[in-house]
Structure 1
Amino acid sequence: MPPIRIFLLLILWFNFFGSVIRSQTQSPSKKEIDKLTIQGTNLRESGDFEKSLLISRMALRQSIAINDNVLIAENYNNVAANYNELIEFDKAIFYYNKALIYANLTQNDTIKQRINNNLGNMYCFEKKKYEKGILYYKKALEYSKKISDSAQIAFTNLNIAWAFFDIGKFKEGEGNLKIINSYYAKNYNDNIVVVLNMLNGMYYNYKNEEKKAEFYFQEAIRLGKKLDEKSDLSYSYLEYSKFLLKCKDYKKAYENLDLYNNLTEEIYAEEKLEKANVEGINFELDEYKRTIDKIENEKDLQYQSLKKSRIIVLLFIIAIFVLLLFLNSLIKNNRFRLKSNSDLMLANAELIIANKKAQESAILKTQFVSTISHELRTPLYGVVGITDLLLEEHKELASSPHLNSLKFSARYLLSLVNDILQINKIEENKIVLDNLTFNMLDELNMIKKALSFITQKNNNKIIVDVDSLIPESLIGDKLRFAQVLMNLVSNALKFTKNGEVKLIATQLKQEGKVHSIEIKVQDNGIGIALDDQDKIFDKFVQVGRKEVDYQGTGLGLSIVKRLLELFGSDIVVESDLGIGTTFSFVINFEHDIKRTNEIINNIQVDLTSSQVFKVLVVEDNHINQLITKKTIEKNNYSCVVVDDGFAALDILEKESFDIILMDINMPLINGFETSKRIRQKGIETPIIALTAFDKNEITDEALTAGMNDIIVKPFEPVQLFKIINCQILKIKSLV
């Protein structure tokens, strides 16, 4: 027989077996239990608590028998309400909680709302546990909103406001009071009118609006007398007396407090009489409680008996169910795999888009840095150039501190621009180390001389100590090496006053042609706190600025760390506050006489000529025109200046020049386009790009346009004439 048919037969047998057991005890219908439940409620409301409990017990037994959680909750709620009326508050809370357990097993929000509201009443107004009661009220309010019962929403908000006001939390209850006021304006209700006026009086008393508070309290008392609401009227007398006491109307406050006491005694006497009437009933209530508990125990025993009779069938069903679960799991796993693949494809597409955006952002960042650096370098060229011209033309100003400060500030700003460009290049992996030959001692002394201005400013001394084992000629990227040392030494000088900075080079070992050299930069300055030593190599981070502004961008040490990483080295810092700081790193340089000679032979030598060369300068900035022209004429060259590319094309039609210095960023027509048109005319005159752009950014475009070389502004005059002579001699050697 196929497995599916066996499974169906087992289910049919299981249902038949269960129906046989159920048929052994005739269960009442839901309609009959509903009728009993309503009867129990009516008896309670009429004051016949004993009969109400008997009927509710019977209805509860039958509700449990048919396993109807709504009816179970209804009957437990009625039992609890009976105990509440009999002033057995602990028993009432016990049964309300049992009712809530069964109500929460249902989808019936109405019964949940009612039970939560009843528990709120018990805890707030009988047990005086306001915070716990308010939580039940708020839960009841949620269910009232679900079933859209505006009346219950209003009543629950009234209870919450009253509870909050009782414990002095008027701000928390303010919103609830507004809701009930809005509801009452549309729906007049005798059951709440006295309390509502009393609560408004309490609220305006809290707000110190005495006229409004007086009105609402008097209205609450008037309506309480009219409607004979003794309990609400007594509370109104009490709150009104508190208000009068606050207003210092002691006589009326006493009168209302006396009215409250008299009415409370009257209510208490009635409750005492009622309690006396039901004392005989209370004697039997514990027995009813035990009977109700027995009902649930009987249900559990019946369930256990039924469970044992079905055990064999359940084993078969469980086995089949496990197989079905396994099959279902396989299907779900397959679907999950397909969905995962789809999600991965979508995520991959999103990553591609995100990567594209990141690349675009990087390009924009590079363009921004390039543009900013160009815009900064152009005026800096003017400042540095004019300062140099002043110092050369007016020798008497050479000792002027103001002019020297101006020159230093301009070069400092230029160094700042170069730092930003440098860090940008390092991050984009655009730096490739060069191989140049240099002398370690000469290099360190050059750094000492270059930083003499900062040394004098802080009254410091620089001591250079080079190990005699270090060869005279080394091969490596001396420019980047010098930049590392310049940053470290200038940093040490900046944080040291009336002290000394030691620049020490020591050979640690030699393996073949490679020499491992340890460089130390020591100072006896302010030192660096231990907590700050891990931060100083981050970008834009500066420490030690609590009392003195040491200036700087915080890029120097970040550049040092990244440049040393290109050398395959790392930097170590040792420092004590008030004692000083030592930066050290180990770097490898090559020593090879044969290779050194090759490098030296390949260096283009500046062959200074006594011949007067004719130079055409194409530049739109008038200050830059002046500086460039004076610099060139100072070297006894002839110089002609034009404002733009079209003027350059016109003059080249009429005159010939030995060399052309071409600005890149010009209006009307830029330097690249001008160079292309010059070459199209067949003019072979060397063209040198004179620009504020970074050299690496424009090299390809410059060569494509027909330019011969690039020099970045601001520049040293020696560098300019070296390139001019080299290009002119190269052209003349080809003729």
Structure 2
Amino acid sequence: MATLRKHISLFIILCSTQLVTPQATLNSDSVQRYIQRAEELQDQYKYEESLELAKTALQNALYNDDSKSKAHIYQIIGKNYEINGDDQKAIRNYVKALTFSQISKNKVLETDIYNSLATLYVKHEFTVKKGIQYFDKSYKLARRVEDTVRMIRPLLNLGSFYILKNNYSEAYFNLSPARKLINENTSNLDKTKLNSLLGRYFLHLERYDRAEEHIEEAISYALLEINNESISNQTKSTFYEELANLYKAKSSLHYAQEDYKRAINYNEEYYRSKLRAIDIKNLIELQRANIKYEVDQYQAKIKQAEFDKAEREIQIVKWQMSIFLGVVLILISLAFLISSNRNNLQKKKLNQDLIEKNKELKSAKETAEQVSTLKSQFISTVSHELRTPLYGVIGLTSLLMENPDEKKKSEYLESLKFSGDYLLALINDVLQLSKIETNEIKLEEVTFDLRSLIEGITSSLRTKQKSNRNTVHINIDPKITNTLIGDSVRLSQVLINLIGNALKFTTDGNIWVSVVCMEQDPEYYVLRFIVKDDGIGIPDNKQKSIFENFAQVKNQNQEYEGTGLGLAIVRKLIQLHQSEIYVESVEGLGSKFHFDLKYKKAMKSEETLAATGINLSVGTTNFNILIVDDNRINQIVTQNILKKKGYTCDVASNGIDAISMLKKEEYDLVLMDINMPELDGLEATKVIRTFNSTIPIIALTAVEEGEVKQQALAVGMNDVIVKPYDTQQFFQTIMKNISKVKSL
């Protein structure tokens, strides 16, 4: 009874204040208190009271021409309508809030409103594009004011939108920067959503370990908040919804791995969490109904305040009885609703299972059709790209065989080499892409010198540089004083593609290759690699598609040919390093690509040379080298390359002959083919090591280095050279291995 009287007294005070307000103007502090109270009522599900109080505050804000307060009030009104499902009224009020936030230059509020509008726009087909633009504006404004929390929200909303649209590439494009923004101040709800979306992304890629890692982390955050007694029912319901989605993803994960028992168990967890979310929502609706019912009774009681005390006492008793009966009726209705809901869930379970199976079959059919289309596209593209240089090889060879003029011979040979180089690049790209797609590539850790690596790459591209009359500038941050430990081969592949593209699309211009130290500690560097040119640039509408497979094949400008695989490989290799590549370009003014990689610090360059004891000056010596290869053409090529350097060499056609020759004569080094008849290179090396443990043996093979290197080193070989090879690198490898023996 006392509590009831207290509530009535508070309500009379509130109503009295509201009756006075229209007749008197509120000052700025009073308007702010009204705004704060309207937000509190909103959090307590008292939406009608919140709306009335906000409208009262709005009248005074309009009278005082207070743009900042007007923006805040329209936002509260818009949120009230959004919660109650009236999207059109919500949008109208959010638009007004946006206008006044821009007038008052309140960037934080403007960021929130862009995000709220975007959430509503993407729900409707005709405003989806506008919604995506507003998410982007919200993110950029948050970044400008350096508000990490507000930067994360639009990125997560975009990631969720693209996941629902099955556009996983765009989803990751937004989730990747969001992941970098997560810190100790980030809410558990944002952490739950981010890890949930990343889990679904990696599940789509069939990277099940990564998917399970993110899903488990999201579940831990959700369970932590669900058990938090201080959070509101609305927040708890949201976490149960997230938890249900996570268990659904977990079920799909185990189903994809054919662990059907665990898939079924997690599917049951999904239904339990979903039902719990529904129960909490029903409880919230009950609270709202109960609050509205109390408000109606308070108003009825105020009208009876003019009657005498006895009549008021009677009305109070009637009111109490009405409240009691109303609550009883609501509780009965809620119990009936829960019971009906459970029965419906049981009845719909079998139907839902059938629907899920049909979805899986439909998805499998769509996947098969997509694979068929990609296969046709792949065959068509590679067939075209193979036949073009092969036609040149065959035609030019025929012309050379007909003994053309000496003037033409050099031209034909240069064209022949170009066609051969193009064929090799195509084959390497196709093999590289295949390995990445099948997760066969593992990052290695080797010591390398960054400047030597970049200068070697630019040197190997000198012909392309001269053909377009370009100048390459190399700038390496002086802070990078150590050699690095990492996968230098993958870094070389990335930089060769980026620098090669810059040279190809630039004429009479400049290419800048820069490495900037972004962060460092005693053990690691975080380096930013930048490749910039002043070439033809990339149109805005193609800047996202250039990283897709065969993207360049669609380019109608026939001046620039290629497979369109290079940048697709670049992006996938960088993603293997848990990073991302970014492009900035203006058509006609050039392009800029940059990405960040983390490397361990090794010894300084001079310390590395001292530790290894390598002296490349021994390369001028007249070495005696044994070539072991069963292919006559390969023998001729290798012999002539070595003789041109001034080396002497002998040839063995198989492993047995090589063993015999090594027992009879002294050689400085052996170039050993792997696949040979009678006795292959690996077995021959095992035998050689039984009587000669010091002679350098280098595998000279056409097999991919990653496939053969471990085997080669295991049997006693010293190094691997993959055919066809760069001549300069070929001699550097020979000198490096001979110098190690000579320095002993």
Aligning the two structures, in what range does the TM-score lie when normalised by the shorter sequence?
0.3 to 0.5
TM-score where L is the length of structure 1: 0.41
TM-score normalised by the chain length of structure 2: 0.40
Higher relative contact order (CA 8 A, sep 6+): 1
